[in-house]
Amino acid sequence: MRGKRKDIMPEPTGHIARGRDLTFELTLERSFDAPRAEIWAHLTDPERTAAWLGPWRGTAGIGNTVELQMAFEEGEARSPVRIDDCDAPTHIAVSVTVSEELNGWDLEATLTEENGTTVLTFLHRLDDPAAAESIGPGWEYYLDMLVAAQSGSERPEFEDYYPSQVTYYTKQANRVLAD
């Protein structure tokens, strides 16, 4: 947590499975004691995304590209994000241009609500499951940042996720490749 180390590191929760089109899918979930509309706002409102991921600017809409500033990355990088699909307030799919050297990221977020609890299912398509060794801990951190932003709790520290979760994600990648 901010300013102090915890004795217990956060447990990794992501799972890697074979996806469609020869890709692999890294899936993580988080639960919220909040209505779906509130969590949707945390995913799509640039003022709310600023608190856990970073602000974005541009005109939202299917087929449009907005610019996301990753506020918690070294150098606060800006990335083009194309909105591929959107069914508010339950599902959004985007393609993120990470860099000229790296393939883009295909991401999806799906929200389900039951009895006042909203579950966010987050999916990141990977060409190579070994990429989850660094990507998995990163999304664990960012999704816990979302939990903290929504609940008003203390923000996590990235150092609590990486490199401590690398072994977990390496095992996940090896398992899916062996299947």
CATH number at residue 43: 3.30.530.20
Short-list 38, 23, 56, 10, CA closest to 123: 23
pLDDT attached to residue 104: 86
Task: Encode pLDDT of 17-64 as tens digits.
Answer: 999 888 999 999 999 999 999 999 999 999 999 999 999 999 999 999
Supply the range of the domain harboring residue 142: 128-179
40 and 120 fall within a common domain: yes
* pLDDT of 6 strictly over 80: no
pLDDT attached to residue 151: 97
5-9, 100-104, 135-139: segment of lowest average pLDDT: 5-9
Rounded mean pLDDT of 141-154? Answer: 97
CB of 89 within 8 A of CB of 111?
yes
- Among 125, 145, 164, give the residue marking a domain's end: 125
Task: Encode pLDDT of 110-136 as tens digits.
Answer: 999 999 999 999 999 999 999 999 999
49 and 95 fall within a common domain: yes
156 and 168 fall within a common domain: yes
What's the rounded Cα separation, in Å, for the pair 143 and 14?
A: 11
Residue with tokens 């799972």: 15
- Among 82, 105, 125, give the residue marking a domain's end: 125
What's the rounded Cα separation, in Å, for the pair 158 and 85?
A: 30
79 and 142 fall within a common domain: no
